[in-house]
Chains A and B, each alone.
Chain A
C-alpha cells in the first residue's frame, strides 16, 4: 500500500486542524470501533463557508481526506460545498489505495453531518444534505 505525494503532504502538513469556538455546524462521523473518527467544524455566513476546521483520529488517509475536504469547501457556498463528493476528495489527493476509499466516504459524510447540524440549529432545510447515520466503516 502506498500513498500519493498529495496524501503524504496533507497528512504531514494538515490544513485547518483545530476547532471553531462558535461553529455554525459540527459534524462527527465514524467511531473507535472502525478506527476512524472525523469531526468537522464549520463557520457559515451568508450561505457561505467562511471557515472550516477538523479533528481526526485515524490513519494517514483519514487525516489527509479531512484536511483536503476542509480546504475544498472554504469560500464555497453551501450549495457548492455539497457538490464535494468522496470522488472529488479522492481526485484532489491523486487517488487512494483501494483499502482506504472508505476514508474519503467518511470525509463526505462528515461534511454533510456538519451542514445537517447547521440546518437543525437554524431550522433550515438544505437541499441535498444527508443526515448523519450510524454505520460500520
Chain B
C-alpha cells in the first residue's frame, strides 16, 4: 500500500496509541468526579493540555479541547453572532469547507456579512487586499494557516498583525500546520487557532481551539462545566491523551521531519515534471509550501478516473474534483487560483507524511506515467 493522503488523515503514532490504551480500559473514571480513578483521568487531560500548549507557545489555560477542527472552526465563527446584530467577517476564498460553509450559512441566515478575499495564482492572500477589505463593523478575520489542497502557507504573521492594528479578532484554521511546521503563538498576534489531532498522528475526532487569554467566547456546546465552562460534555479522555502524546512526539522531530519531507516533496515534483509531459504543479514552490504537499494537474485527465487507477495499483491519493452530484463542483481552491474548469477537475494531491520513504516515490513512478498515458488515450480533450 502506497499511502499519499496524509493531509486527509495520518496513521496514529505509536506513542499516542500506547498513551491512549489505559484510558480505553482500566482508567475509565469521569474526569469531573472526585475519587482517585477520576483524578487519574483529570491529571492525564491536564498533561495533554500542557503538551498542546507547549507545542504552539501557548499557556495551558488557552487550550480548549473539542471534537475536532470542524467544531473549533464552527465555534469561533458562530460565537461572533452573539456579539452584535450583524458583524462583518473577512475570510479567504480557499478556506476549508469547515470555515467556508459556516460563513456561507451565516450569510444565508442573515447573521453576518462576509467578505471572501481572492488569492493570487499560487494561493496567497495579499495583506493589501486584507487591509482594503476592513470595514468599521469588521469583527473577525479568519485566514487558514496553510492550505490543505495546494499547500500554500499564508503570510500569517503579517495578516494577524493587520487585524491586531485594527483592533479586530484574528482566527486561523491551522489544521494543516500544527505538528508539521513551526507555529508559535508568542510570535503571532492571533486570537484563535484551530488544531486537529489526526493530522499529525493523533486520534480522530479530537482537536483544540486555542483562545488567547483575555478573549471570551460564549460556548458552542452547552450542558456542563467541563473545560472551565467553555465546552460542555464529558471529555474524550483517551482522545485528548492521544492528542497530547501525538503533538509531543511530532514536536520533538519537527525540524528534521520538515526538512526530510520537503526533500521528498521536491523530489516527487521533479520526478513528475521530468517524466510526465503536460503536468502542471498547483501551488507555490519552496518554503512557502507545506513540506508534504504535492498537487498536480495532468492535462486532459479528470481526477476521479485517475484516483481509481491509482487505487488499482495500491496507491491512495486524493483529488480536489468532486464529480459526485448533479452539478459537478470542481475544487473551489483550484478555481480561486484562476485556472479553467478542465484544469480544476484534473487535480491530484499526493500528500506525504511520516510513513513515506524515498522508495515510495520510485514505486509510484513505476505506474503513474502509464496511468496518465492510458487516460489521455481515452480523452477527447487530448485530440
Contact present for B379 and A56 (CB under 8 Å): yes
Residue of A nearest to B381 (CB): A57
Q: Which residues of B contact A36 (CB under 8 A)?
A: 302, 323, 328
Cβ-based interface call for B312 (8 A): yes
Residue of B303, B328, B381 near A34 (CB, 8 A) is B328
Interface residue stretch chosen among B134-142, B211-219, B337-345: B337-345
- The range of chain B's interface size is 20 to 34
Inside 8 A of A68's CB, which chain B residues have their CB?
none
Contact with B along A24-64 (1 / 0, CB 8 A): 00001001111111110000000000000001111110110
Q: Report the Cα distance A28→B380, complex, angstroms.
A: 9
Give min CB distance, A31 to chain B, whole Å.
8
Interface residues in B285-343 (C-beta closer than 8 Å to A): 300-305, 308-309, 312, 321, 323-328, 330, 340-342
B379 contacts A55, C-beta separation under 8 Å: yes
- Contact, CB under 8 Å: B345 / A60: no
List residues 1-32 of chain A with CB under 8 A from any CB of chain B.
1, 8, 11-12, 14, 17, 19, 28, 31-32
Given B308, B321, B378, which contacts A56 in the complex, CB threshold below 8 Å?
B378
**Beta-carbon nearest neighbor of B328 in chain A:** A35
Report the separation of the CA atoms of residues A33 and B330 in the bound assembly, to the nearest whole angstrom: 8
Q: Chain A residue with minimal CB distance to B343? A: A32
Interface assignment of B377: CB less than 8 Å from any CB of chain A: yes
Interchain CB contact under 8 A, B328 and A63: no
Q: How many angstroms from the CA of A8 to the CA of B308 in the assembled complex? A: 9
B326 and A59 within 8 A (CB):
no
Bound-state CA distance A61–B304 (Å) is 9
Taking CB as reference atom, which chain B residue is nearest A63? B305
Which A residues touch B302, using CB under 8 A? 35-36, 57-59, 62
B residues in contact with A58, CB < 8 Å: 302, 304-305, 323
Q: Which chain A residues border B379 with CB–CB below 8 Å?
A: 55-57
Q: Which residue of A lies closest to B309 (CB)?
A: A12
* Chain B nearest Cβ from A9, distance in angstroms: 12
Q: Is the CB of A55 within 8 A of B304?
A: no
CB distance from B94 to the nearest CB of A (A): 19
Interfacial chain A residues near B84, Cβ < 8 Å: none
Q: Which residue of B lies closest to A7 (CB)?
A: B308
Inter-chain contacts of B330 with A (CB < 8 A): 35
Within 8 Å of chain A (Cβ to Cβ): is B165?
A: no
Q: How far is the CA of A32 from the CA of B378 in the complex (A)?
A: 15
B380 touches A37 (CB 8 A): yes
B383 within 8 A of A: yes
Q: Is A76 an interface residue (CB 8 A)?
A: no
- B300 near A57 with CB under 8 A, answer yes
Pick the contact of B323: A38, A55, A59 (CB < 8 A).
A59
Given contacts A32-B340, A32-B342, contact A102 B304 (CB under 8 A): no
B323 near A14: Cβ-Cβ < 8 Å = no
* Option from B308, B326, B341, B383 in Cβ contact (under 8 Å) with A32: B341
Residues on B with beta carbons closer than 8 Å to the beta carbon of A56: 378-380
Chain A residues within an 8 Å CB radius of B309: 12
What are the nearest 4 A-B pairs in CB distance?
Answer: A32-B342, A59-B304, A55-B380, A35-B328
**Can you list 22 pairs linking A and B with CB atoms under 8 Å apart?**
A11-B305, A14-B378, A17-B377, A28-B380, A32-B345, A32-B381, A35-B323, A35-B341, A36-B323, A36-B328, A38-B380, A39-B380, A57-B381, A58-B305, A59-B302, A59-B303, A63-B378, A99-B324, A100-B323, A100-B324, A102-B326, A136-B327
Q: A35-B302, A35-B341, A57-B380 are in contact. List 8 more A-B contacts (CB 8 A).
A: A11-B305, A32-B340, A36-B323, A59-B323, A60-B308, A100-B323, A100-B324, A137-B326
